[in-house]
Amino acid sequence: MTLELASVQGVQVEDTGIDTSPLAIRGLTVSYGQKPAVFSVDMTAQPGAMTAIIGPNGAGKSTLLKAALGIVKPLSGQVTVFGAPLEQQRARIAYVPQRSSVDWDFPTRVLDVVLMGLSRELGLLGRIRARHTARAMDCLHRVGMRDFADRQIGQLSGGQQQRVFLARALAQDADLYLLDEPFAGVDAATEKAIIAVLKSLKEAGKTVITVHHDLATVTDYFDHVFLINTRKVAEGPVAQAFTAETLQSAYGGRLATAQIDQISRALG
Amino acid sequence: MLWDALTLQLGYNATLVAVGATLLGVSAGVTGTFLFLRKRALVSDAISHATLPGVCLAFMALVALGGDGRNLIGLLAGSAVSAWVGLLCMNWLTRHTRLAEDAAIGAVLSVFFGLGIVLLTMIQTMGVGRQAGLEGFLLGSTAGMLWADALIIAGGGAATLLLVLILRRPMLQVAFDPEYAAARGLPVNRIDLAMMGLVMAVTVVGLKIVGLILIVALLIIPPVTARFWSDRSDHVVLLAGLAGGAAGYLGAALSASAPNLPTGPIIVLVSFGFFALSMLLAPARGVMAAVLRHLRFQRRVHIRQGLLALAQGQKIYEPLTLRLLRRADIVRADGVATEAGKARAAKALRDEKRWEIVRADQAHEATAALYDGLRDIETVLTRDQIAEIDRRIGGPQGVSA
Amino acid sequence: MSGEEFVPLSLTPLLIGTFAAIACALPGNFLVLRKQALIGDAISHVVLPGIVVAFLLTGAISTWPMMLGAAGAAIVAVILIEAIRRLGQIEPGAAMGVVFTTMFAGGVLLLEQTDTSTVHLDVEHALYGNLESLIWLDAVGWSSLLDLEALAGLPPELPRIALTLLGVCLFTVLFWRPLKISTFDEGFARTIGIRTGALGMALVITAAIAAVAAFDAVGSIIVIAMFICPPAAARMMTNRLEAQIGWSVLFATLSAVSGYVLAGYGPLWLGGADAVSAAGMIATMSGLILALSAVFGPCRTRAGAPISS
């Protein structure tokens, strides 16, 4: 038995023109072993917006980000950044990894980490001059970590480490900022400092995409959301895409009904 | 000649070696499994290299006391003591300094070995005639193996196996989840040390046959081989013993069958042969199986993605997807969907819709966890359940499997 | 000791030992920080089969084929380890254990099978080197350093290890920044376009070349001490990578010099008659330095706050 579906059409192979979105993902599938972590996801980031990628644990949020950055290899799919392949646009992307991804016992100072953000312009052998140091110090200042420049990174608290990572991303002076759970396990002061920096980036016309965990702060912090649970669930402005239905659909049974009620009340 | 060797008809010494090597292989394989499951396989490398200064010191002490420097029990006791000291150094370095375990292993291994070499050169200049046997401990030397040596190896191997048998449960628990084991009240540190002690015992026993550099292979390769064939830890232990024993026996027989075939290296190479075969051919975890599975999986992902794109009228960008769709007669060569393709696309889309309902419904939580984007919904829900979901979706009911 | 005795007998072994120690310590710093210290272990074990195969192919003990053979073996080993780790889903330690023991066994077997009695290639030499034999017989004193004819008689190992050290230094300086960034944060390194896979391989190959060049002097096992001990000890002294490199070079030099001197004269001071293995003594001294820094070093404990704060 078959079913006629008006929407089933032939495949058109011609191109529809270049998508110049800061981050455009088409048909991305990433799998670890035999289970896809991200399945057939499309995403078009809004320029100059702050977008939260949200979804339950293990929904593929970080994987999506890492695949977008070319850190993990996708099974299928394409990524373009400002209309060009990722490799050509490296200079325009800054990435803030999860804090737990590095060895904090590494022998280096806070300032050295921020200077890593300048390595593209320094090249292999370029000397670090006073203006580079001044810029790195300025980035540290923006995240409130100026006084810690000479500390060994292992001596910082979790929140301070996160701010140093953010300062490194600022030093890259990119157009697209991708952050992986910057608020995970940080203190309230750090959360405030980070969100202030992100909002200032947005005001400067930059695009910010953040993997985010805390549903309660989504409406305060972000203007766009991208809901994912292996597949894309919803994408759009907070008011339209962050609703009780989309949350139910993304989190399924995992989010208690009471929580959803609470959030939908908060949404008005 | 090989047949004679395999049936133990090559004389007294060859038989001794074969029996000893088999026992050694079994106990090394079994003991090494715990180390491997604990993800500390290379600790054995540090332990084995750390035996050298002990062997030398024991030799010097024996000679100084007027005894026979080549007394195997004395030498083995010395090697055990220095291996134990090396082990303690390694533990201390990882616990009390910032060094990671790999650096601690490398440091202990090389420094103890270096010290051993210093002592060895001292012995060489001591003018004692019978020190030649000591170099044999580096790479093993079975040429002059005595009945008494074989007895010691057999006894040591059997004692190790017995201890493993007694300690296997706590060791497996610690290997699987040390934190949970600690929470259960198991003395994790002591069990770890016991595990290392057993490894040390195997190392010491194996010095004579394969030598201190290659004993590591007998502790690591059989467990890795066994792991390909089973996911159950107790089976892995048994299979590792089997693989180790077989390698020991075959290796010893091969080496006895022709000149210039040193026992230790041959045993290691036979062991590696088992490993290579297992890695390629093992049914579930083997490479061939994995490659086939991955290709099949990739094909399914692409076809599914293609079907969904067709159903939603989206453009398909991936050349591989298009090729697979064509091959499966879902689209024609010009990229237009076939009738059958349209049906399958519609079915895929409807399944996706059904899954969406399932995943949003708390009542289906267990089922929802099975979602991977590919699984046919008929395989996880009954016909009635699907009918119920379809009622909730509404619209045409015509799609069936 | 007078120049007439020192220059011909001790100068070249001392220099070779020191250069070898530094050439290994430099890449060793990164291997230790990347938790790949045992790659050094694996490399040094497979140098032996590499050299044997090169000997079998060329039929002669000559420098370049053997260097190439050993470097080739190191690359084969690293590729095999990666393949076994990924394809067999086996933890890296065990994968290394499988590969280097097997290749080592193969090397020993080949060596036993070949008639190497006419050439200076035997297992023990391969295992613990022969630093003492690398003397400069043409020298008569310090003046020989300016004597072209005498310089031509330098043991070939010296220019070889000097060249290797130069290469290792160049690699370290040239790729300092990417090496540091990718060692600290590989994910970030990839997002700024550093090819971390290729860089990691280049580091391993550099280490392999250092190991091969040092092999003559100190043998294949003691090379591991050179890779690991000076950087590990330096790790206890400082929290800055630049300073750590400096300390590791100092410790490497100190181990080489003190090890050589103690091996040569220690037994005499103790009333013995014959020298002991210099390579073994160098490893022992590097261990001693590590032990001292582990007990007294100002930065010996982990600085990192636990990640889940």
Q: Which amino acid appears at position B24 of this protein?
A: L
How many Å is the maximal CA-CA distance in chain A?
74
Residue C153 reports pLDDT greater than 60: yes
Q: Is residue A9 in some structural domain?
A: no
Q: What is the pTM of this model?
A: 0.85
Write a three-state SS string for chain B.
CHHHHHCCCCCHHHHHHHHHHHHHHHHHHHHHHHHHHCCCCCHHHHHHHCHHHHHHHHHHHHHHCCCCCCCHHHHHHHHHHHHHHHHHHHHHHHHHCCCCHHHHHHHHHHHHHHHHHHHHHHHHCCCCCCCHHHHHHHHCCCCCCCHHHHHHHHHHHHHHHHHHHHHHHHHHHHHHCHHHHHHCCCCHHHHHHHHHHHHHHHHHHHHHHHHHHHHHHHHHHHHHHHHCCCCCHHHHHHHHHHHHHHHHHHHHHHHHHCCCCCHHHHHHHHHHHHHHHHHHHCCCCCHHHHHHHHHHHHHHHHHHHHHHHHHCCCCCCCHHHHHHHHHCCCECCCCCECHHHHHHHHHHHHHHHHHHHHHHCHHHHHHHCCCCCCCCHHHCCCHHHHHHHHHHHCCCCCCCC
Choose the mutation target among B102, B293, B315 for the interface with A, i.e. most A CBs under 10 Å.
B315
Query: Is there a contact between A252 and B337 if contact means CB atoms under 8 Å apart?
Result: no
Query: Is there a contact between C240 and A70 if contact means CB atoms under 8 Å apart?
Result: no
CB–CB of A74/A31 below 8 Å? no
Q: Is residue A40 in some structural domain?
A: yes
Smallest Cα–Cα separation from C36: which of C244, C186, C214?
C186
Q: Is residue A14 in some structural domain?
A: no
Nearest residue of C to residue A127 by CA position?
C177
The predicted structure's pLDDT at residue C307: 38
Q: Is residue A159 in some structural domain?
A: yes
Domains and CATH numbers, chain C: 3-221 (1.10.3470.10)
- β-pairing, A24-32 vs A35-44, is antiparallel
Q: Is residue A177 in some structural domain?
A: yes
Residue C110 reports pLDDT greater than 90: no
What is the mean predicted confidence (pLDDT) over A14-39? 78
Q: Express each pLDDT in B325-345 by its tens digit.
A: 888 888 887 778 888 888 888
Task: Identify which of A16, A248, A253 has the shortest CB distance to residue B368.
Answer: A253
Residues of chain B contacting C105 with CB distance shorter than 8 Å:
214, 217, 264-266, 268-269, 272
CA-based radius of gyration for chain C: 20
The predicted structure's pLDDT at residue A1: 32
State how far residue A204 is from chain B, nearest Cα, in angstroms.
34
Subunits adjacent to chain B (3 or more Cβ pairs under 8 Å): A, C
Residue ranges of domains in chain B: 2-259, 288-393
The predicted structure's pLDDT at residue B380: 77
Choose between A169 and B352: higher pLDDT.
Answer: A169
Nearest residue of C to residue A117 by CA position?
C192
Phi, psi of C161 (to 5 degrees): -70, -30
Q: Is residue A7 in some structural domain?
A: no
Choose between B34 and B366: higher pLDDT.
Answer: B34
Choose between B396 and B354: higher pLDDT.
Answer: B354
User: What domain range is A246 assigned to?
Assistant: 24-267
Query: Is there a contact between B264 and C94 if contact means CB atoms under 8 Å apart?
Result: no
- β-pairing, A93-96 vs A207-211, is unpaired
Q: Does A36 touch chain C (CB under 8 A)?
A: no
Q: Is residue A12 in some structural domain?
A: no
The CATH code of domain B2-259 reads 1.10.3470.10
Residues of chain A contacting C175 with CB distance shorter than 8 Å:
124
Domain count, chain A: 1
Query: Is there a contact between B122 and C236 if contact means CB atoms under 8 Å apart?
Result: no
Q: Express each pLDDT in B122-145 by its tens digit.
A: 887 776 555 556 777 877 777 667
Q: Express each pLDDT in B146-202 by its tens digit.
A: 787 778 888 888 888 899 989 988 998 888 888 888 888 888 888 888 898 999 999
**The CATH number of the domain where A30 resides is what?**
3.40.50.300
Q: Does C241 touch chain B (CB under 8 A)?
A: no
Interface predicted TM-score (ipTM): 0.90
Q: Is residue A61 in some structural domain?
A: yes
